[in-house]
Amino acid sequence: MDGCRGSLKYSTPRRIASRILSSLKRGKVKRIFVVGDSRKEDGYGDDDVAPPDVTVDAPNAPPERCKREANLNMGIGFCLLHLIAESKNELQKMTELRTQMETLLQNVKEELKNKDSPVVKKLESNEGVEESLGFESSLISNEVLLFDQSLKSEDDVPRDDEYLELEGMGRLEAELEAELERLQHHLDSGELPTNPSQEPMEESISSSSSSARSFSISYGEVIDPTNEGQEEDFADSYSGVPPFELARKLHELLETRQQERIRELEAALERAREELCEKEREISWWKDTANLMSKHIKDPSRLNFQLAQNSRHFLRIVVFDSCKLQMAKAESNVSDGLSLDLIRDSLIRQEDTIIFSLIERARFPLNPPTYDPSYASIHGSCGSLVDFIVKQTEATQARAGRYENPEEHPFFPENLPPSEVPPYNYSEVLHPAAMSVNINKIIWDMYFNKLLPLFVSPGDDGNYASTAARDLECLQAISRRIHYGKLVAEVKFRDERKDYEPAIRAQDKNTLIKLLTFAAVEEAVIKRVAKKAETFGQEVKLGEDSNHGKYKVDPTIVARLYKDWVIPLTKEVEIEYLLHRLD
C-alpha cells in the first residue's frame, strides 16, 4: 500500500483540467476546449486529444494583437502538451494502483472465504482493523453495490417498483462518492489518514458506528462484526463510512426489494389460481354443453322437456333455431303423414290404454301408505313411495330413451339422466314451442286428489309398490293422451292457418278455444270411453250374457274423467301450444 500511496501524490487529471479551465477563463479565449474526460481510466494518448477550438474576439483584429494572441495560443498549446503528458503518467499510475487494489481485494476475498484466515481471526478477535483493511472493506462494499447495479442494468428502463431502490442506491453512491472525495483530498494533500481520531469525521464515524450496531447479517463478502466492541474498534480504525453501514444499507435495500417481489409474486399466484378455477368451471360447462349438443343436435325434434329444463339458455337458442328450420321443412313436406284423422285414431287407441290402466289400478284398494311421505324413509329419496317409484322409473326410462319421444312427458323432469340408447329419428312435426308445454303437475294433482278416490275401493292390502307402479301407468297414459293436444293443435292450425294466426298474434285464448273445439267429437269421445269401460271392465263368464252392472271401473267415472279433465286439459295443451306457435 505504501507504493500505492506514493503514486497518488500526483495531481489528478480532474485537477489538471480545472487548472486549464481556470487559466483559459483568465485569458481572452471565449470558447473552451475539451482535453478529455478526466474520469476515464484509460485516458487519451497524444493523438487522442481533440484539437483546441480557439476563437479570438474579432477576425479583423490589429496585427500586434494577433501576434500576442498567437503567442498566447502557442503558450497554451505547450502548456497543454505538458499537462497531457503528465495526465498520461498519472493515468498509468492510477491504473497500476487499481491493479494493486484489485489484487489486494482478491487476496482479502480469498482470506475471508477461509475461516481460518488471519484477517477474519483478527476481526473476530476484535484486535482492531488496519486502515488498509477498512479501505478494502469499503471497496468490497462498493464492489457488491456495483455488482448489484450491473444486475439492474440488464433492464434498460428501471421499473416503477425499483425507483425506491434506486433512490437508496443513489444515497449509497453519494456516500461512496463522498468517501472517494475524502480519499482524493488526502491524496492531493500527500498523506493518507493513519489515525482516524485525527480526522474531522468523528461525527460521521460515530453515527455510522451506532447505526452499524443493528447490523447482524453480513451480505456476500462483507465482514460482519459480531459485537459492539468489534464495531467500535473497527470504526476507530476506519476513516470514512464504515463498510458495515454500507453493507447494512445494501442488505436492507436488497431485502426490501426481495420482499416486495415476493409479495408481487404471491399476489400474481393468487390471481392465477382464481383464473384457473374460473377456466376449469368454464371448461366443465362447455363439456356439459358439448354432451348435450352431441346428443340432440342431430335430431332437434327429439329435444324434450328435459332438455328444455337442463340445457343452458344459449343452447336453447341454437337448437330452437335448428328446430324452426326443420319445422319449415316439415311444413313444406305434404307427406309428413300428419292428419286430424290419424290423430283421432291415435286418441281412440289411447282410450283403451287409459281404461285398461284404470282397471289395473282398481285391482288394489287405495293403500294410503303409498302416498304418505312419512310411511317410508328410503335412502336417497324424500317424499312418498309413489314419488320414489315414479322418479326412479322415469330416470330408468329416460336412460332407455323414453323421453326422446316428443309425445312423452316426465312428471319429474328435473335432473333426469340423458338417454343412453341410439337416437331414433322421430318425425319433426311440432313447433319448438312444444318443448316448453308440460302440464303434468296439473295431471298429477287431478289424478291423486280427484280421480283416484273415485274409482278405487278404500282399504289397505299392503301392495304399496304395485299400487304405485299402477298409478304411474295411469298417469303416463293420461299424460300422453292430454299432451297429444299439441299434435291436434298443430294439425288444426295448419288446416286453418288464416283463422288461427290472428288469434295467436292477439293471444286471444277464447277465439282459439272456439276454433279448436268440436263439441260433437267431444260428445262422441265421452260416450265411447264409457262404452269401452263397460266392455273392458265387465266380468266375462262363459255361458252368461249379462254382467249385471258390475264393472272393474265404473264407466260413468271414465266418462267423467274425459269430460271433466282429459278433454279440458287436452284443450289447455292445445291453447298453450298455439299461443307460441308463431314465436
Ligand X SMILES: C=C(O[C@@H]1C=C(C(=O)O)C=C[C@H]1O)C(=O)O
Residues interacting with ligand X, by CB under 6 A? 344, 488, 516-518, 521-522, 525, 567, 570-571
Residue 522 or 564: which CB sits closer to ligand X?
Answer: 522
Q: How many Cα atoms within 13 Å fall on the side-chain side of residue 180?
A: 10
**What distance lies between CA 263 and its chain's CA centroid?**
19
Beta partners for residue 551, in sequence order = 538
Residue 180 or 524: which CB sits closer to ligand X?
Answer: 524
Q: How far is the CB of 522 from ligand X (least distance, A)?
A: 4
Contact 557, 529 (CB under 8 A): no
Residue 93 or 563: which CB sits closer to ligand X?
Answer: 563
Q: How far is the CB of 500 from ligand X (least distance, A)?
A: 13
Q: How far is the CB of 516 from ligand X (least distance, A)?
A: 6
Residue 185 or 497: which CB sits closer to ligand X?
Answer: 497
Q: How far is the CB of 337 from ligand X (least distance, A)?
A: 17
Q: How far is the CB of 456 from ligand X (least distance, A)?
A: 24
Distances in Å between the Cα of 560 and the Cα atoms of 127, 482, 564 are 118, 15, 6
User: 478 CB contacts (<8 Å, ≥6 apart)?
Assistant: 354, 443, 447, 561, 566
Residue 83 or 516: which CB sits closer to ligand X?
Answer: 516
Residue 171 or 527: which CB sits closer to ligand X?
Answer: 527
Annotate 372-419 with DSSP letters as a single string. -TTT---TT--S-HHHHHHHHHHHHHHHTTGGGSTT---S--TTPPPP
Which set of grid coordinates corresponds to residue 102?
484489485
Q: How far is the CB of 469 from ligand X (least distance, A)?
A: 27
DSSP state of 53: -
Q: Is 122 exposed, middle or buried (0-12, 13-18, 19+ CB in 10 A)?
A: middle
Number of helices and strands (H, E) in the chain? 22, 0
Q: How far is the CB of 305 from ligand X (least distance, A)?
A: 21
d(CA 250, CA 142): 10
CA–CA–CA angle 405, 475, 433 (5° rounding): 40
Distances in Å between the Cα of 445 and the Cα atoms of 448, 450, 493, 519 are 6, 8, 30, 26
Identify which of 532, 524, 582 has the alpha carbon closest to the alpha carbon of residue 558: 532
Closest residue by beta carbon to ligand X = 570
Q: Is 323 exposed, middle or buried (0-12, 13-18, 19+ CB in 10 A)?
A: buried
Contact 291, 310 (CB under 8 A): no
What is the chain's length? Answer: 583
d(CA 241, CA 444): 94
Q: How far is the CB of 369 from ligand X (least distance, A)?
A: 34
d(CA 289, CA 483): 28
Q: How far is the CB of 506 from ligand X (least distance, A)?
A: 21
Residue 16 or 525: which CB sits closer to ligand X?
Answer: 525
Q: How far is the CB of 297 from ligand X (least distance, A)?
A: 32
- Three-class SS of residue 190? coil
Residue 145 or 343: which CB sits closer to ligand X?
Answer: 343
Q: How far is the CB of 471 from ligand X (least distance, A)?
A: 22
Q: How far is the CB of 330 from ligand X (least distance, A)?
A: 21
Residue 113 or 450: which CB sits closer to ligand X?
Answer: 450
d(CA 365, CA 462): 9
What is the widest separation between alpha-carbon atoms in the chain? 167
Residue 289 or 346: which CB sits closer to ligand X?
Answer: 346
d(CA 455, CA 199): 120
Beta partners for residue 538, in sequence order = 551
Residue 173 or 572: which CB sits closer to ligand X?
Answer: 572
Residue 112 or 578: which CB sits closer to ligand X?
Answer: 578
Residue 419 or 570: which CB sits closer to ligand X?
Answer: 570
Q: How far is the CB of 574 from ligand X (least distance, A)?
A: 7
Contact 95, 197 (CB under 8 A): no
